[in-house]
Amino acid sequence: MPTQTSRASHNLPRFEDAEPLGSQDAEFARDIKAVLEKHGNLDRFGLVLLHDHFSVGGDEVLVETNDPQARTLHVEVEKKGETKHAQPSQWRFVADSEETPTAQSDSTPYEVLMLCLTLACEDR
C-alpha cells in the first residue's frame, strides 16, 4: 500500500504560506466538480488545502484518529512499518515523473498523505 513520502511533505508549503481556495479558483473548482460528478464521486471526494506543519520522514506516515464522543480529530506521526492503521484518507496528485509503481506494476497519479484508524472512520 502506498504511504506518505518525504517528497510530499518536503514540497508542501507551511500552512501560514499556503494560498486558500478563493474566488479566482471558481473555474478550476467547477471543472473539478464536473469531473467528480461525471465519475459518480461528488459525494466521495473533495478538495483540501495541501500544507505542512512539520516534516515527516520517508519512513513515517501521518495517522488520523478520532473520538466520536468528544467530536475531535487527532493526527500523529507513526513509523510506516509499525502502524496498524491501513485506511488511506488523504491523497496528493503527483507529477507524471513522480508516479510510484503499485503491486500491479502500473503507476498511480497520486500518493497517500494520511491514513485513518479504520474503526474510528467507520464509526462516523
What pLDDT is stored for residue 6 in this prediction? 40
- At 64-76, the pLDDT tens digits run 988 888 999 899 9
What pLDDT is stored for residue 112 in this prediction? 82
* Residue range 72-98: mean pLDDT, rounded: 84
pLDDT greater at residue 7 or residue 73: 73
What pLDDT is stored for residue 7 in this prediction? 46
Distance separating alpha carbons of residues 117 and 65, to the nearest angstrom: 5
What pLDDT is stored for residue 41 in this prediction? 96
Mean pLDDT estimate for the chain: 80
- At 27-52, the pLDDT tens digits run 999 999 999 999 999 999 999 998 88
What pLDDT is stored for residue 102 in this prediction? 47
What pLDDT is stored for residue 5 in this prediction? 41
Q: Which residues contact 10 (CB under 8 A, 6 or more apart)?
A: 55
What pLDDT is stored for residue 84 in this prediction? 79
Single-letter amino acid code for the residue at 84? K
What pLDDT is stored for residue 97 in this prediction? 67
All structural domains of the chain with their residue ranges:
22-95+107-115
At 11, give phi and psi (nearest 5°): -90, -10
